[in-house]
Chains A and B, each alone.
Chain A
Amino acid sequence: MIDTALAYMLLFVSLYFEIFLLVAFLERTFLSRSSGSGLGSFSHYPSVAIIVPCYNEELTVSTTVASLLALEYPKDKLEVIVVDDGSKDRTLEIAKQFETDARVRVFHKENGGKHTAMNFGLARTNAELIGCLDADSVVASDGLLSVVSIFEDTRVAAITPGIHVKETNNILQHMQKVEYRLAVFNRFMLAALGSAFITPGPFSIFRTSVVSELGGWRHGYSTEDMEMALRIQNAGYLIGNAPRAVVHTGTPHTLKHLFRQRVRWTYGWLRNAVDYRHMIGNRKYGHMGLIILPSALISIGAAIFFFFRILFEFSVTIRHELLKIEVTGALPHPGFNLFYLNTSVMWILVWIAVGLILLLIAMGSFIGTGKRTLPIGTPLFVIFYSFLVPLWLGTAVVRAVFKTGVRWR
């Protein structure tokens, strides 16, 4: 009885959050077009430094740097700072080849983690804006132009891009492509609600003075991008999103790598949420404090709860089928009878929630690519992610409780 009540409560919260984002999107699209903050005005080209932190990226670093050098931006206003964070492969040697271009500077330092590489670059530039581009990512040539105009608003401290999957070589990456489309929608809406709490590694651009004022990047439990975003929000600055600043980033190609990456992300989120717990439920932080951060936390609990509930129901079904086989000796023959279709309130709500997620993915596609079509991996995403996500969420929760720490690779 209690678990049923809890299931309905979590379903209500999950649906409420999806609908809240949807309502906010529609409000923004149809009712409050003018609620932005003076976007589009563009009085001058600010100087920009893009830091490329690298650790053993010999296979991808040249593509990353080449994409930065191809940016449509005044050459005298752009610098690329490659920071080799103690790589053990040929990353440094390959990066050095780009120093023939006056915009590129390459440094080597002892390995200390991504945040130390970022701070290393921060200390070596006077640019007005500072960005990060992970060495497995490539940016579209007009990516920077889509971003810089927003910094005309002096309250803006950071802008996140529209991130897409670089390669879809297997089913896992096709599923991640769908996930990233959903993330495009979420990132866009969180910015529209003044609630962005992640400034991802691939091509987030910051106002250098704010980053310096806040003390540079921190370890942030191996999620320095999340910690920095929360610190920016905590200090009262704004974080925007430019979905037309398209970045394609490398994604894990094996389940093991995906699992490790997501455990790190969730672990970092949970530990940072504890550090910034004063923002959760705090009206001072607007939608972020009242709904975004609480929902992000509740969604972890909801995913784990429903996973175990479905696992329990599945195990009961399996037990019944095994008993049937044992006593009758006959294997079950699949059949379909409309009478036995599960039409309980719970299942109808689950189907509605799935439908809403598909709608949000389509909107993410529209925001990110201008097309409303769902990626080809959508059915697989819905089916397999339902089982995969709770596994890494559960692992991250346990690790966060015991403060085990997480590794990047």
Chain B
Amino acid sequence: MDPVVNARTARWSSYIVAFLITALIFATALYASNYFQSQRIADIQATENDVSAQILSTETQFDLLQEHSCSDVSESDLAPSEMTSLGSELDYLEAQGGNQDEITRLKSTYSLLEIKDYLAMQQLAQKCGLKPVFILYFYSNSGDCPQCEAQGYVLTALSQQFPLLRVYSFDYNLQVGALQTLISIDHVQDNLPALVIKGKNYYGFQSIEDIQKILPQLKTMQTASSAAATSTK
């Protein structure tokens, strides 16, 4: 490049053009961020629709079994579907912020689906004499439950280790009629984290060992690694 030297000037047009471009970049970043957020919400909605269809399928299956035998149903049919990943994705969206009304609506739908799935599974298990293991987990994201984070990690680890273990997590403060009814039926107090296992309530942090003591059948339950080994035979 040729040498350059210039007098001290202030071209206002440069300031204005730079400002407009910077503002445009900010607007683009805002638009892009909202777009990606909308895509995520759309993904979750699609997954919720899938889950809803699965539950409908389970309920239909249950209706059919009223007239037929359970010979074609095993415990592996009760394995969780996209529920676990859906819960994690919703947690992430909630932590990221953004459109809280939309996120709350998605969480409400998710909670309703969980309750429906829970009830459908219970009915199916009773009809067919299966013994799936359910854990109802009540947490709070309002900053009043310091142990909820650790409890979440424990339950995620357990559900990953035991694919047949069904963990249903509920935001205690979510104002959904069915959820509040479930809380009322199970007499879950505002002392979180709270677990409901085999009809009994447990308050405060429960370690993996604590839960394994409560659910000794976990020791004989098929683990993720053994399931993988079986499937690759």
Interface on A for B, CB 8 Å cutoff?
Answer: 12, 15-16, 19-20, 22-24, 27-28, 35-37, 39-40, 146-147, 149-150, 153, 155-156, 159, 188, 191-195, 233, 238-245, 283, 285-288, 290-291, 320, 323-324, 326-330, 339-340, 342-345, 348-349, 352, 366-367
Partner of B22, one of A12, A242, A348: A12
Q: How far, in Å, is A13 (CB) from chain B's closest CB?
A: 9
Chain-A contact segment, one of B32-40, B51-59, B103-111 = B32-40
- Do A244 and B18 touch across chains, with their CB atoms under 8 A apart? no
Given A23-B17, A291-B15: A191 and B154 within 8 A (CB)? no
- Which residue of chain A has its CB nearest to the CB of B157? A328
Whether B184 is near chain A, meaning CB under 8 Å from some CB there, is no
- Do B32 and A20 touch across chains, with their CB atoms under 8 A apart? no
- Do A323 and B9 touch across chains, with their CB atoms under 8 A apart? no
- Do A20 and B15 touch across chains, with their CB atoms under 8 A apart? yes
Complex Cα distance, B37 from A339, in Å, reads 10
Partner of B25, one of A24, A37, A155, A349: A349
Q: List 22 A-B contacts (CB under 8 A).
A: A15-B26, A23-B14, A23-B17, A36-B5, A193-B9, A194-B7, A195-B8, A238-B6, A242-B3, A286-B9, A287-B8, A291-B15, A323-B150, A327-B157, A328-B154, A330-B157, A343-B32, A344-B33, A345-B30, A348-B29, A349-B29, A352-B25
Q: Which residues of B contact A343 (CB under 8 A)?
A: 32-33, 36-37
Whether B19 is near chain A, meaning CB under 8 Å from some CB there, is yes
- Do A327 and B33 touch across chains, with their CB atoms under 8 A apart? no
Chain B 10-51 residues near chain A, CB threshold 8 A: 10-11, 14-15, 17-19, 21-22, 25-26, 29-30, 32-33, 36-37, 40, 43
- Do B17 and A37 touch across chains, with their CB atoms under 8 A apart? no
Q: Which residues of B contact A149 (CB under 8 A)?
A: 3
Given contacts A12-B26, A20-B14, 16 further A-B contacts (CB under 8 A): A39-B3, A39-B5, A146-B3, A150-B3, A153-B5, A192-B6, A193-B6, A194-B5, A233-B8, A238-B8, A285-B8, A324-B153, A328-B156, A330-B157, A343-B33, A345-B33
Chain A CB count within 10 A is highest, among B18, B156, B157, for B18
Complex Cα distance, B5 from A15, in Å, reads 25
Whether B180 is near chain A, meaning CB under 8 Å from some CB there, is no
Q: Which residues of B contact A245 (CB under 8 A)?
A: 3
Q: How far, in Å, is A167 (CB) from chain B's closest CB?
A: 24
Q: Which residues of B contact A244 (CB under 8 A)?
A: 1-3
Complex Cα distance, B4 from A35, in Å, reads 10
Q: Which residues of A contact B207 (CB under 8 A)?
A: 327
Q: Which residues of A contact B1 (CB under 8 A)?
A: 188, 243-244, 366-367
Count residues on chain B whose CB falls below 8 Å from chain A CBs: 39
- Which residue of chain B has its CB nearest to the CB of A15? B22
- Do B4 and A36 touch across chains, with their CB atoms under 8 A apart? yes
Q: How far, in Å, is B30 (CB) from chain A's closest CB?
A: 5
- Do B150 and A37 touch across chains, with their CB atoms under 8 A apart? no
Q: Which residues of B contact A153 (CB under 8 A)?
A: 5
Q: Which residues of B contact A12 (CB under 8 A)?
A: 22, 26
- Which residue of chain B has its CB nearest to the CB of A192? B4
- Do B33 and A191 touch across chains, with their CB atoms under 8 A apart? no
- Do A328 and B208 touch across chains, with their CB atoms under 8 A apart? yes
Complex Cα distance, B10 from A216, in Å, reads 29
Whether B94 is near chain A, meaning CB under 8 Å from some CB there, is no
- Do A327 and B3 touch across chains, with their CB atoms under 8 A apart? no
Complex Cα distance, B8 from A37, in Å, reads 12
Complex Cα distance, B15 from A318, in Å, reads 42
Whether B171 is near chain A, meaning CB under 8 Å from some CB there, is no
A-B contact count (CB 8 A): 143
- Do B5 and A240 touch across chains, with their CB atoms under 8 A apart? yes
Partner of B10, one of A233, A283, A329, A344: A283
Partner of B18, one of A16, A243, A286, A326: A16
Whether B149 is near chain A, meaning CB under 8 Å from some CB there, is yes
- Which residue of chain A has its CB nearest to the CB of B151? A327
Q: How far, in Å, is A182 (CB) from chain B's closest CB?
A: 15
Complex Cα distance, B175 from A58, in Å, reads 79
Complex Cα distance, B174 from A32, in Å, reads 63
Q: Which residues of B contact A344 (CB under 8 A)?
A: 33, 96
Q: How far, in Å, is A170 (CB) from chain B's closest CB?
A: 30
Q: How far, in Å, is B202 (CB) from chain A's closest CB?
A: 16
Q: How far, in Å, is B183 (CB) from chain A's closest CB?
A: 25
The 7 closest A-B pairs by CB, nearest first: A240-B5, A286-B8, A343-B36, A242-B3, A328-B157, A20-B18, A194-B8
Complex Cα distance, B32 from A238, in Å, reads 44
- Do A339 and B89 touch across chains, with their CB atoms under 8 A apart? yes
Complex Cα distance, B3 from A244, in Å, reads 7
- Do B6 and A36 touch across chains, with their CB atoms under 8 A apart? yes
Complex Cα distance, B207 from A367, in Å, reads 62
Complex Cα distance, B1 from A44, in Å, reads 22
Q: Which residues of B contact A193 (CB under 8 A)?
A: 6, 9
Q: How far, in Å, is A328 (CB) from chain B's closest CB?
A: 4
- Do A37 and B5 touch across chains, with their CB atoms under 8 A apart? yes
- Do B29 and A352 touch across chains, with their CB atoms under 8 A apart? yes
Complex Cα distance, B40 from A344, in Å, reads 12
- Do A16 and B40 touch across chains, with their CB atoms under 8 A apart? no
- Which residue of chain B has its CB nearest to the CB of A195? B8
Q: Which residues of A contact B26 (CB under 8 A)?
A: 12, 15, 345, 349
Q: Which residues of B contact A20 (CB under 8 A)?
A: 14-15, 18
Complex Cα distance, B149 from A367, in Å, reads 53
Complex Cα distance, B8 from A285, in Å, reads 6
Q: Which residues of A contact B8 (CB under 8 A)?
A: 194-195, 233, 238, 285-288
- Which residue of chain B has its CB nearest to the CB of A283? B10
Q: Which residues of A contact B17 (CB under 8 A)?
A: 23
Given A343-B32, A349-B29: A328 and B5 within 8 A (CB)? no
